């Protein structure tokens, strides 16, 4: 079967739902020192055929199945009951993040020929089990499971091959009426997986080339649209590194950052033209270094530097010690919320962007196109970001920010829904334009041709620009009361 014919059979359920929605809970676990007899009693009482073995932190280290118990009895006979699980369990155990899309779990189980995976949270702690039976309830057909191809990639070339399938995948999802922001979330999940995989490959190469393991705890951060889970096809790199070492450790992290960025560029995620990448010293700091930089931003930053802060604010951890990222977010959130001058400066840096609509209601274009990111997406996401900072909302996604702002009483639920609808419309229009440009052999950009829009979408887009003006008013009103 060809790649195209396989993609045509995609069942979108697996691309709309996450592992957390299909996993079985609670996860039944035991410690490595638990005996076979104790484990067998637990399995019998719970009516389960396997048991996850976890360390003292709750992280899965192995799995015990009924077959493992039979092997223990065959090998140890009468002494089998007293054998600790750590000596007979199957290890390592295959895991999957609970926030991963279900299609990634499907691909991983198919590739590894497994009937179950352990679902873990962002800290690697086991929280559920994904079974083949559970996934079969999704009436899924196998397709090109892009995320798992990235997970198993051993080179930038293999990751590039997976990334090149995204436009067709997005087309199939949109044809099945998956909402645009959901399509963007799938795209973002693949780009996030590529960033994590680049870090793993770089770390492995560092050890092989004599650099050794990291000299201190560290975390790779994904910034900008990737951090918001709103990346489209043409996204470039935005990343950073935070580590718990000292300045003398920077050479190791500098080499790591360079390897990550080079790998991503070769895999089809180009270098950031503004230099917002971990290979550059400005985006690679110790914890204390980042705190100093944040203090500088709060007190003195202006102009282009504040535009870079907008990119930084949306960070999320993709590889390494998540506690470092959590601490950094808590520090930034507190400092930003306490500085009205900084919030006003951030609003000013986003620019006083006017809707590209003429006095007669026509679109104002340049060379037949208008920049939908600059005229629509940027002011919308910026306003939601600034409101989130003011009200200490820690979510990074625009939709999540709007929802939490409404739940916190900082805007009406109707307004939040309207802003999110405008966001989804603009993402869909841009996705469709980028797909058309790819088909025509044109370079990817954020510029759309309004003439290719259906009359209804043209009207809705004009209304969306008015909605953004309303959101900017909400933001300015909130800041004036600081």
The pLDDT score that the predictor gives to residue 352 is: 63
d(CA 119, CA 130): 7
What is the rounded (10 degree) CA torsion for 4, 16, 387, 380?
30
The answer to whether the beta carbons of residues 99 and 138 sit under 8 Å apart is no
The answer to whether the beta carbons of residues 58 and 28 sit under 8 Å apart is no
The pLDDT score that the predictor gives to residue 477 is: 83
The answer to whether the beta carbons of residues 419 and 387 sit under 8 Å apart is no
Tokens of 241: 């590194």
What would you report as the CA-atom Rg of the chain, rounded to the nearest whole angstrom? 24
What is the H or E stretch that residue 63 is in?
A: strand 60-65
Residues forming CATH 3.10.580.10 domain(s) in the chain:
3-152
Q: For the chain, which residues score pLDDT lower than 70?
A: 1-14, 133-134, 136-145, 147, 175-176, 351-353, 481-482
Residues forming CATH 1.20.120 domain(s) in the chain:
339-482
Q: Which CATH architecture has domain 3-152?
A: Roll (3.10)
What is the rounded (10 degree) CA torsion for 199, 202, 207, 212?
-60
d(CA 235, CA 158): 19
The pLDDT score that the predictor gives to residue 482 is: 55
Q: Give the residue among 317, 267, 258, 327 at the shortest CA–CA distance from 122.
A: 317
Three-class SS state of 214: coil
d(CA 32, CA 138): 34
What's 103's DSSP letter? H
From the options 3.20.20, 2.40.50, 1.20.120, 1.20.1740, give the CATH code of 339-482: 1.20.120
From the options 3.30.460.10, 3.40.190.10, 3.40.50.300, 3.30.70.2740, give the CATH code of 155-296+307-326: 3.30.460.10
According to DSSP, the β-strands at 116-120 and 126-131 are antiparallel
The answer to whether the beta carbons of residues 153 and 107 sit under 8 Å apart is no
Residues forming CATH 3.30.460.10 domain(s) in the chain:
155-296+307-326
| First vs last C-alpha separation in the chain | 61
- 133 Cβ neighbours under 8 A, 6+ residues apart: none
The pLDDT score that the predictor gives to residue 145 is: 58
Q: Give the residue among 314, 221, 231 at the shortest CA–CA distance from 269.
A: 231
């Amino acid at each position: 079967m060809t790649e195209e014919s396989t993609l045509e059979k995609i069942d979108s359920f697996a691309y709309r739902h996450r592992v957390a929605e299909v996993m079985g809970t609670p996860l039944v676990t035991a410690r490595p020192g638990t005996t076979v007899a104790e484990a067998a009693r637990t399995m019998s009482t719970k009516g389960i055929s396997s048991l996850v073995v976890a360390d003292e932190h709750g992280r899965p280290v192995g799995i015990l199945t009924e077959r493992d118990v039979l092997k223990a009895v065959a090998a140890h006979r009468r002494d089998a009951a007293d054998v600790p699980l750590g000596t007979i369990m199957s290890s390592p155990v295959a895991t999957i993040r609970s926030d991963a899309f279900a299609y990634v779990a499907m691909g991983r189980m198919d590739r590894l020929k497994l009937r179950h995976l352990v679902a873990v949270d962002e800290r690697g702690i086991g929280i559920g089990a994904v079974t083949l039976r559970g996934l079969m309830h999704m009436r899924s057909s196998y397709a090109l499971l892009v995320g798992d191809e990235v997970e198993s990639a051993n080179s930038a070339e293999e990751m590039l091959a997976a990334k090149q399938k995204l436009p067709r995948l997005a087309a199939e999802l949109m044809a099945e009426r998956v909402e645009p922001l959901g399509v963007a979330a799938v795209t973002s999940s693949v780009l996030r997986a590529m960033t994590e995989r680049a870090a793993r490959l770089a770390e492995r190469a560092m050890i092989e080339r004599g650099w050794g393991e990291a000299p201190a705890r560290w975390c790779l951060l994904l910034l900008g649209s990737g951090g918001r889970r709103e990346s489209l096809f043409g996204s470039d790199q935005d990343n950073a590194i935070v580590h718990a070492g000292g300045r003398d450790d920077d050479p190791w992290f500098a080499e790591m950052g360079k390897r990550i960025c080079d790998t991503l560029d070769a895999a089809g995620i180009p270098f950031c033209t503004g230099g917002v990448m971990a290979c550059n010293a400005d985006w690679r700091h110790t914890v204390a270094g980042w705190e100093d930089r944040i203090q500088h931003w709060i007190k003195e930053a202006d102009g282009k530097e504040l535009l870079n802060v907008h990119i930084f604010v949306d960070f999320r951890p993709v590889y390494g010690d998540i506690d470092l990222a959590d601490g950094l977010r808590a520090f930034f959130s507190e400092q930003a919320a306490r500085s009205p001058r900084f919030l006003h400066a951030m609003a000013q840096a986003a620019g006083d962007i006017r809707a590209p609509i003429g006095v007669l209601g026509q679109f104002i274009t340049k060379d037949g196109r208008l920049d939908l990111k600059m005229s629509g997406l940027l002011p919308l996401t910026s306003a939601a970001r600034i409101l989130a900072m003011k009200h200490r909302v820690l979510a990074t996604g625009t939709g999540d920010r709007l929802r939490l702002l409404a739940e916190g009483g900082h805007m009406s639920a109707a307004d939040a829904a309207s802003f999110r609808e405008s966001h989804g419309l603009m993402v869909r229009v841009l996705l469709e334009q980028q797909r058309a440009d790819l088909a025509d052999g044109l370079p990817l950009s954020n510029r759309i041709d309004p003439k290719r829009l259906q009359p209804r979408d043209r009207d809705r887009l004009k209304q969306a620009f008015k909605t953004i003006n309303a959101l900017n008013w909400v933001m300015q009103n909130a800041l004036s009361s600081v």
